[in-house]
Structure 1
Amino acid sequence: MRYALTALAVLAVALGVAGFGYGEVDDSPGLQILSALLVIGAVAVAVRVARRTR
């Protein structure tokens, strides 16, 4: 389960970074905000998983 959550968090960060880049090119502030929230949420989940496994 831990590896699945970690992989999902990494995938979410990659998707968020790609969405943020596409939002910059397309001049879409809404997509940039959603992408930033996705990255922040994924990092929070990754930190929570890392703290729980110690």
Structure 2
Amino acid sequence: MADTQADLLILLARPHSLWRRLFHRSITAEVLRRCPVPVLLVPVAAPDQPGWMPTMS
């Protein structure tokens, strides 16, 4: 981020299992702590949750 002229960083946050939350560090949390510009965190629904839509790839 330091070498860009970005005014905002947008991240997509997807849900994780309890196992993953307990034993893996959160990249999102680290970005929120260290990012020099404001961060917009957009939650993304998991495939088994209402509102989920597949992405085009």
> Which structure dedicates a bigger proportion of its chain to strand?
2
TM-score by structure 1 length? 0.34
TM-score by structure 2 length? 0.33
> Which structure dedicates a bigger proportion of its chain to helix?
1
